Amino acid sequence: MKPNIVPEENSFDPRPTLRPILVPMGTFAVVREENTLLYTSPLGAGIAVAIYDPVTKVAGLLHSMLPDSRINRGLAKARPGLFLETGVTGLLEEAFRLKAQKENLVIYVAGGALILDPSAYFNVGLRNYEILKSTLAERGLAIHAEDVGGQVNRSLHLNTARGEVRTQITGQPEEQLLCKR
């Protein structure tokens, strides 16, 4: 489902028209433009990590599928975004290259859906979230707001004009604003 990027008719919404950039699974994108909407396809058990520096206006979005790259080192080299561990590194490196400052970074996270499985046999979503948290912690970074877990399939939209993050659940028309925890 494509995010809603056109302001409603007759509204006095001052939003400029945003340039949408899809971030498919296994990739990340970093921009330094204010009029962009970075958005993922639905995440499933995968996780989206959005970063935003409100001072330099650098914004980035990662869409990972699995926690760590030990399962397939070769693929991780070709597609670092597929794994959270290598994806976060790639995302941050690119953001810093565009002059984002670590102390300014605001981090939003969505995804990591789970099925009903008390045995935790099928807990890919949970392991994704745990690895992400430890990967960020190692770098002295924390999550600002998140929408993770549950049985819903959602996507994440990052509006670089406002530094605003929304999530959208498949099958539900409205987007949800991702607020500070």
Contacts of 16 (CB under 8 A, 6+ apart): 35, 161
By the rule CB under 8 A, 134 interacts with other proteins? no
Residues 51-70 contacting other proteins, CB under 8 A: 65-66
Residue 79 or 144 having the CB closest to other proteins: 79
Among 20, 99, 172, 179, binds other proteins (CB under 8 A): 172
How would you class 74 by CB atoms within 10 Å of its CB: exposed for 0-12, middle for 13-18, buried for 19 or more?
Answer: exposed
By the rule CB under 8 A, 131 interacts with other proteins? no
**Least CB distance from residue 52 to other proteins, whole Å?**
23
Residue 48 or 58 having the CB closest to other proteins: 48
Residues 83-112 contacting other proteins, CB under 8 A: none
End-to-end CA distance of the chain: 26
Query: Are 56 and 100 within 8 A, CB to CB?
Result: yes
131-140: long-range contacts, CB 8 A cutoff, minimum separation 24: 131/67, 131/68, 131/84, 131/85, 132/47, 132/49, 132/67, 132/84, 132/88, 135/84, 135/85, 135/88, 135/89, 136/88, 136/107, 139/88, 139/92, 139/102, 140/102
Among 121, 174, 177, 181, binds other proteins (CB under 8 A): 121
Our CA angle for 109, 115, 21, nearest 5°, is: 35
In the chain, the amino acid numbered 104 is N
Among 5, 32, 34, 42, binds other proteins (CB under 8 A): 42
Among 43, 110, 148, 156, binds other proteins (CB under 8 A): 43
By the rule CB under 8 A, 2 interacts with other proteins? no
Residue 45 or 107 having the CB closest to other proteins: 45
By the rule CB under 8 A, 125 interacts with other proteins? yes
**Which residues of this chain interact with other proteins, rule CB under 8 A?**
1, 25-26, 41-46, 65-66, 71-72, 75, 82, 113-119, 121-122, 124-125, 150-153, 155, 169-172
